[in-house]
Amino acid sequence: VQLQASGGGLVQAGGSLRLSCAASGLAFSSYAMGWFRQAPGKEREFVAAASYSGGSTYYADSVKGRFTISRDNAKNTVYLQMNGLKPDDTAVYYCAADPTAPVLIYSDYERVDYWGKGTLVTVSS
């Protein structure tokens, strides 16, 4: 199984980025997908998750109204559209897959089935 995240980069505060995570080797539509982030010196934290179909989405309070998670099951890809970026959003962003959405939403890291390598997002002030 591979989860390949991409789309990170350097952006000014107020700007936008779209992250993508392409999955292979798993039955993508049978997995809830999530995004997490880890800022320097801080613990990894939950950002957003989407149910199998993408019909249900969940967000951390810190990103609600600014970030949107979506998925395309035909392309085995999950996205994170990030608008209104702030310097506090600077972090390495990771995608993750688990059959059970609450495992992602409640950051039960030990139980998450698959993690991707991260992509760095840097927001300058």
Q: What is the DSSP letter of 104?
A: H
Q: Within 10 Å of residue 24's Cβ, how many Cβ atoms?
A: 10
What is the band of 108 on the pLDDT scale with cuts at 50, 70, 90?
Answer: confident
Distance, CA of 73 to CA of 101 (rounded, Å): 16
Rounded to 10 degrees, the C-alpha dihedral 96/55/77/40 comes to -40
Distance, CA of 75 to CA of 49 (rounded, Å): 17
Query: Is the predicted pLDDT of residue 55 greater than 90, yes or no?
Result: yes
Q: Provide mean pLDDT across the span 98-107.
A: 89
What is the structure's pLDDT at 6? 97
Instruction: Give residue-wise pLDDT tens across range 68-85.
Output: 999 999 999 999 999 999
Q: Which two tokens stand for residue 15?
A: 């700007």
Q: What is the DSSP letter of 117?
A: B
Q: What is the DSSP letter of 73?
A: T
Q: Provide mean pLDDT across the span 101-112.
A: 88
Q: Provide mean pLDDT across the span 117-121.
A: 96
